[in-house]
Amino acid sequence: MKEKTLEYYSNLANWDFSKIKYEEECLTNWEYFDQIKKNTNEKSLCLDIGTGGGEKILKKYPAVRMLLATDFSKQMIETAKENAQKYPEKNVKFAVMDNLKMTFPDELFDLVTARHTVIDAKQIYSCLTKGGTLIIEGVDKKDCWELKKLFGKGQAYKDKKALSEKDYEDVVNAGFSQVEKVEIKINEYYKTEEDLMALLLKTPILDDFSEIEDSFQEHLKSVDQHLFNEYVKNHTTKKGILLERVLYGIVAKK
């Protein structure tokens, strides 16, 4: 099933989100890059898996000795390298790699980060130094729930078990001694209808897709315009078009 998950993601549209205009309002006192900063210093050797186009890490990753950023998509790594040209001061190396087939030496990295991607907790545990940290941010079942309810489908919409629960259990079973899981709520405000539509066409939010159950449909190439217009009408605010995100964060110590 993990191989099917990777195949599904590899067929998604271009994951470069740099041109999508939106603002975030964090409702939870937990922020992914704040957690990274708390667990690194200028001597840390770090690994980021599922990097995509690299926009987030290039903008927000703290200064460390070196960051190796990987993705299984060659296209995404090429996009990340292009984006990196805007940040010459960043000590980041990019490489194509399958998250589920890592071949690093044991106890190499001080920190491993994974944002919105599939993981193998046991492989991550092996390549972390003693006392090293794993930080995960993922999309939970209730993410964009009002949008999913309107369309009657979406990522993890029919799952009986949330991905946050599965990842938590996998991390504990891998041997991590300290594991903390939190729910993260964020309001995103998209500037225009085109910005929101671009997000939906680039991500699996409205796909019949599950990372837990063996359910993988083709990624949407278009979105029902009538339902989309109804959502925009009911969720347009002074700040923009509201999309309520529900994520989860995990911090685990080896």
User: Per-block average pLDDT, block size 10, for the chain (254 residues)?
Assistant: 56 67 95 97 97 93 97 89 93 94 96 94 98 96 97 92 94 96 97 96 84 66 94 98 98 98
In a 3-state reduction of DSSP, which class is residue 171? Answer: helix
Rounded to an integer, what distance in angstroms lies between the CA atom of residue 231 and that of residue 240? 13
Rounded to an integer, what distance in angstroms lies between the CA atom of residue 162 and that of residue 97? 26
Closest CA to 24 of 253, 182, 239: 239
pLDDT at position 17 is: 72
pLDDT at position 16 is: 64
**pTM of the entire structure?**
0.84
Could you say which of 3.40.50.150, 3.30.342.10, 3.60.20.10, 3.90.400.10 is the CATH number of the domain covering 2-253? 3.40.50.150
